[in-house]
Amino acid sequence: MSGPDSSSPSDVLLEVKDLHVSFTTYGGEVQAVRGVSLTLRRGETLAIVGESGCGKSVTARSLMRLLPPQTSKIRQGSIRFQGRELTGLTEKQMREIRGSAITMIFQDAMTALNPTITIGEQIMEGIIRHQKLSRSEARKQAVEMLELVGISNPESRLKQHLHQFSGGMRQRIMIAIAAVGNPSVLIADEPTTALDVTIQAQILDLFKLLQRKTGVSIIMITHDLGVVANIADRVNVMYAGKVVESGTVDEVFQHPQHPYTKGLLASMPRLDSDRNTPLQSIPGTPPDLFAPPKGCAFAARCPLAMEVCADFQPDTTSLSGGHGVACWLQDARAKQMVPPNANTFIRSAIG
């Protein structure tokens, strides 16, 4: 069975099919991404969510071919951008796409930006390289972009260095650098993790503003379901290198079908819950991706697991409204068994 995809070919900007990425380490080969498929449509925000180590950031960096070639490898799969296959491009060809058609915002601005040169030079560098403009024209664009992302006195700010900006302003500068070339796709990898809730809300509003003004498509990588609910149109939930559930945010949040998704949602604090009620958690730990399980990777932690879950990987079952889930509970071929040890967190999530 194939996953859901209700979009027409003309709407799809980026399409990933059966992507497998591994890393060579002293301890062996880590299978970090194991058959990920996703689509990004024009003008939408797609969130990729999951706990640390699930493969979401590796997936994002694979789209831009930013993984270290010495230790990483795309073992199989396809990444097509505007109909063009990216996995076979040379590094020179990819450099023409990075920073212009596809750009990326990283989590930590202090390590992603250069503290030794001015902010203006860093913004203008991409403009001059990709748009072939003069320095005066590039400077004008840089000023306009700083104004757009909400930095006051942009003319004087261009001359300043990274240490002269707060954390929220640094993130705005990162967004300005990524968006100044009017890219088709903007990938944001945990862009609000280190920010307080007030600044986080401002940054998310800025992404929405950019999308309205430029029509850019956004891939938002996050472990924060609150961010997903605030900004995304669709969401892919990842676990152990695989997409286990996908669909619109409303479908996945209001009608979750995979036990892992239900567990994530049950662990979120709720405004309508008693403040003395403890948050629920998912017992156990993710599997070792040096030797992934042959069946469903979540089976060992899942209170609804059946015998088939441990022995075979589930296909993605298409539900209504483009909602897809990779779980044997949704597969008509699985025997209907009474699940053992249905823990409280699942019962609560199911309601």
List pLDDT tens digits, range 285-317: 999 999 999 999 999 999 999 889 999 999 999
At 112 the pLDDT is 82
Q: Count of alpha carbons within 13 Å of 120, Cβ hemisphere only?
A: 17
Highest mean pLDDT among 97-106, 192-201, 237-246: 237-246
d(CA 300, CA 313) in angstroms, rounded, equals 13
Using DSSP's 3-state secondary structure scheme, residue 68 falls into coil
At 127 the pLDDT is 86
pLDDT higher than 60, residue 349: no
CA of residue 37 relative to chain centroid, distance: 13
Average pLDDT, integer, range 172-186: 91
pLDDT band at 38 (very low <50, low <70, confident <90, very high): very high
d(CA 163, CA 114) in angstroms, rounded, equals 10
pLDDT higher than 60, residue 347: no
Highest mean pLDDT among 3-12, 233-242, 272-281: 233-242
- Which helix (H) or strand (E) segment holds residue 247: the answer is strand 242-248
pLDDT higher than 70, residue 345: no
Query: What's the fold here for domain 12-101+183-350?
Result: Rossmann fold (3.40.50)
Q: Which two tokens stand for residue 68?
A: 């270290």
What is the DSSP code (8-state) at residue 52?
A: T
Amino acid at 23: F
User: Which value, in Å, is the radius of gyration of the alpha carbons in the chain?
Assistant: 21
> Who wins on pLDDT, 133 or 274?
133
Is the C-alpha dihedral spanning 243, 76, 216, 207 positive or negative?
positive
Exposure letters 98-121 (e unless 16+ CB within 10 A, then b): bbbbbbbbbbbbeebbeeeebbbb
* pTM > 0.85: yes
> Who wins on pLDDT, 140 or 107?
140
Burial label for 146, CB within 10 Å (0-12, 13-18, 19+), is buried
Tokens 């071929």 identify what position?
A: 333
List pLDDT tens digits, range 55-95: 999 999 999 999 998 999 999 999 999 999 999 999 999 98
pLDDT higher than 50, residue 350: no
Q: Which two tokens stand for residue 83?
A: 């109909």
At 196 the pLDDT is 85
Annotated domain spans of the chain: 12-101+183-350
d(CA 99, CA 113) in angstroms, rounded, equals 14
pLDDT band at 346 (very low <50, low <70, confident <90, very high): very low
d(CA 189, CA 193) in angstroms, rounded, equals 9
At 32 the pLDDT is 96
- Angle value at C-alpha 88, between 24 and 177, nearest 5 degrees: 85
Please state, for a pLDDT cut of 70, what percent of the chain lies above it.
90
> Who wins on pLDDT, 160 or 275?
160
CA distances from 223 to 25, 47, 207, 279 (A): 25, 10, 17, 16
Q: Are 220 and 47 in contact (CB under 8 A)?
A: yes
pLDDT higher than 90, residue 158: yes
